[in-house]
Structure 1
Amino acid sequence: MPDLSDHAAVARWRAETNALWGEADDPQVPHRRQEIGGVPCLVAGPPPGSGAPVVLYAHGGGYVLGSAAVAIPITARLGRTLRVVSVDYRQPPEHPFPAALDDVLAVYLALAAGDTPVALAGDSSGGALALSAAVMATARGARPAAVALFSPLLDHAAVPGSPLVDGEGRRLIDHYVGGADPADPRLSPLRADLSELPGVLVQAGADEPLASQAVELQARAVAVGTNITLELWEHLWHTWHYHHLPEADQALIEAAAFLAALLSQPSGP
């Protein structure tokens, strides 16, 4: 990890890391670049006007790393049945909070202005962005049809001890938080008002450190009457969805079915 105050070094490191993780398109579900709400995105799946349900996706990577292209192993599999809009949001340290959230929300509101219901989804730090955008959009009277979160990071003020959020991982998160209060519900949607949300699906590894936040989200959602489904997958790791595994295929098939079922109900769950 370079000195995160050196923006040029971070840009090089991000490009190298993203290339290592992989940014190749999926020939079976090709992605096309499109600007939506003034934000660059990758779009996959059936075209507009096809009637296919629409899902906005926020990639993970500790905010600093990752890209919409890195997330193609997830968005391509969702894109087999759904129209997926994957956001290339602005990233720290060049663009700290709330830049990434502003971009995700701008894309969502642009999509929601149409006639097709829209869901929100994301993994890891992208899960925080997706859930925060869902809460904010709901407060504006533009509630999404559904939310799906994969190994989400949900509370920046009380993160569990793990390599994901300690040491270098903590530095990444801190450069997104910047000078903001980590307990701000826009940063830590676990602390937000969850009472008016649509149906939520959360998938996490049963033994991953962030599973505790998923369990807490379920408890808080149930307490305010929000419909939430929590799946804790045994013997799997943080965001296993990226890998070409039968368990990843099955998890994403279930997530796509969950989203499609709620997206078929324009008035919400």
Structure 2
Amino acid sequence: MSADRDAAPFVRRRELSPEAIAYKSRRRPSVPIGMPDLADHAAVANWRTATNALWGEDDDPVVPHHREVIGGIPCLVASSAMEARSFLAAEAPTVVYAHGGGYVLGSAAVAIPITARLAASGLRVVSVDYRQPPEHPFPAALDDVLAVYFALAADDSPMALAGDSSGGALALSAAIIAVAEGVPPAAVALFSPLLDHVSVPGNPTADDEGRRLIDCYTGDADPADPRLSPLRAELDGLPPVLVQAGADEPLAAQAFEFRRRAAAPRATGTEVTLDLWDGMWHTWHYHALPEADEALAAAAGFLAAFL
């Protein structure tokens, strides 16, 4: 199945900005350094450090972040321009964020271009520096996101979950588990999410590097486990979900299928807002583009409406 480009309320068509056109003309591979043997833990650690540095781990001067340990897990918390004391109060609306990077790469610091823009709207954004494979395969990353979520939920503050790419799988899986535990989030926002680890249409199995990263996290687990592949989970009781993806990226088909499944009668009508952007690529949200600003402002507005 491929995403239906003619399904008009889902596809956002607009003339690309000059910045997006320029970026696409000079775009390089998303992983700029060749992948080492993923069984070599030291080599992977060095590769992660070098790749993350090339992607960028600089703080945002307008919306600074600070490190905090929550539920025993290291996190980066966006401070916004508000007074830190009031911003970090328990009643502040909170978004727990899971970064992408194929589980193996990326970090909370790499995700600052996204978390800073979400926080600029007044949300408290807690970005989880979850454990990563090969040292820590499934379910370590999911367990860490859940540990942070439940630690913050204990304060009875308004909560939401969000994530990009592989972090989208973590965020949605965490939301499904939180619903089952009786502590549901108010809303979920997913950016170019990976929702199914099994070889289904839309899964980037033709990309050998992407497949190797996914398999590194999956380990000996069944890729059809709904905690790994939330597209295969029971979706009853989920809060409103926003999914943004490039209309032509491979994972758009998974987003389309997720909306179809969520809208089925047995899913009790979970509300999924599917927002496919024509001409944009996987997780364009990271870049300094008007399209990224617009998408993240819309996502922040969506989350704030329920928080």
- Which bin holds the TM-score, normalised by the shorter protein? over 0.9
| Cα separation, 2, equivalents of 1:22 and 1:165 | 27
Cα offsets for 1:178-200 (capped at 9, x unmatched)? 00000000000000111110000
Report the equivalent of 1:200.
Answer: 241
| Cα separation, 1, equivalents of 2:249 and 2:289 | 18
Instruction: Report if aligned partners of 1:159, 1:165 keep a CA contact under 8 Å in 2.
Output: no
Instruction: Output aligned runs, 1:247-266, within 5 Å.
Output: 247-263=291-307
Report the equivalent of 2:178.
Answer: 137
Q: Please state if 1:237 is matched with 2:277.
A: no
Distance 1:158 1:245, change over 3 A: same
| Cα separation, 2, equivalents of 1:161 and 1:239 | 15
Residue type of the partner of 2:163?
G
TM-score (norm. length: structure 2)? 0.84
SS, match of residue 34 in structure 1: strand
Report the equivalent of 2:64.
Answer: 30
TM-score (norm. length: structure 1)? 0.95
Q: Which runs of 4+ in 1 moved over 3 A?
A: 159-165
Cα offsets for 1:143-197 (capped at 9, x unmatched)? 0010000000000013446767621111010000000000000000000111110
| Cα separation, 1, equivalents of 2:94 and 2:205 | 30
Report the equivalent of 1:84.
Answer: 125
Shift of 1:116: 1.1
Instruction: Output aligned runs, 1:165-176, within 5 Å.
Output: 166-176=207-217
Report the equivalent of 2:101.
Answer: 61
Q: 1:48 aligns with which of 68, 76, 88?
A: 88
Structure 2: runs of 5 or more not aligned: 1-34
Report the equivalent of 2:272.
Answer: 228
SS, match of residue 85 in structure 1: strand
Q: 1:127 aligns with which of 168, 172, 188?
A: 168
Instruction: Report if aligned partners of 1:146, 1:200 keep a CA contact under 8 Å in 2.
Output: yes
Shift of 1:255: 0.2
Distance 1:189 1:161, change over 3 A: closer
Shift of 1:239: 0.3
| Cα separation, 2, equivalents of 1:2 and 1:259 | 38
Report the equivalent of 2:13.
Answer: none
Instruction: Report if aligned partners of 2:202, 2:252 keep a CA contact under 8 Å in 1.
Output: no
Worse-matched range after superposition: 158-167 or 250-259: 158-167
Structure 1: runs of 5 or more not aligned: 264-269
| Cα separation, 2, equivalents of 1:261 and 1:202 | 16
SS, match of residue 297 in structure 2: helix
Distance 1:169 1:227, change over 3 A: same
Shift of 1:53: 1.4
Matched residue count: 263
Report the equivalent of 1:266.
Answer: none
Instruction: Report if aligned partners of 1:165, 1:173 keep a CA contact under 8 Å in 2.
Output: no
Worse-matched range after superposition: 196-205 or 157-166: 157-166
Distance 1:118 1:191, change over 3 A: same
Distance 1:162 1:49, change over 3 A: closer
Cα offsets for 1:92-140 (capped at 9, x unmatched)? 0010000000000000001111121110000000000000000001100
Instruction: Report if aligned partners of 2:197, 2:203 keep a CA contact under 8 Å in 1.
Output: no
Report the equivalent of 1:267.
Answer: none
Report the equivalent of 2:136.
Answer: 95
The structure with more radius of gyration: 2
| Cα separation, 2, equivalents of 1:159 and 1:32 | 39
Shift of 1:49: 1.7
SS, match of residue 196 in structure 1: coil
Residue type of the partner of 2:108?
A
| Cα separation, 2, equivalents of 1:172 and 1:160 | 18
